[in-house]
Amino acid sequence: QVQLVESGGGLVQAGGSLRLSCAASGRTIRGYTMGWFRQFPGKEREFVAAIYRGNGVAYHADSVKGRFTISKDNAKNTVDLQMNRLKPEDTAVYYCAADSTLILSSIREARHFDYWGQGTQVTVSS
């Protein structure tokens, strides 16, 4: 079992930055694919970014590419999401996710991640 706790959400003006952090406990995340998803009201969870366990490569959604960066620290058992040049349309609840068995082709699908944090609200004002 892996427990995930997100932090770092809040209110920021458009163009600003936030850094989300996800602290894992219970297991080392070294062998896990770690991801960030977001959810808009009334919508399904949407892929933001992930680091695949098999090759250590980071993948980002087109909508955030060049603005957001995911990073993983195996020693600290954390995964962060640096969000720059934020836009009002980035406003959502952001979730950290982990999974030890999913394959690369499933990395953008929330249903393939077994472990989830409670979410943290990010609000970007215009």
Per-residue pLDDT tens over the stretch 61-79: 999 999 999 999 999 999 9
Please tell me the distance from the alpha carbon of residue 105 to that of residue 108, in angstroms, as a whole number.
8
Phi, psi (5° rounding) for residue 78? Answer: -130, 155
> Are the C-beta atoms of 57 and 71 separated by less than 8 Å?
no
State the Cα angle at 124 between 97 and 7, rounded to 5°: 35
Per-residue pLDDT tens over the stretch 11-59: 999 999 999 999 999 999 999 999 999 999 999 999 999 999 989 999 9
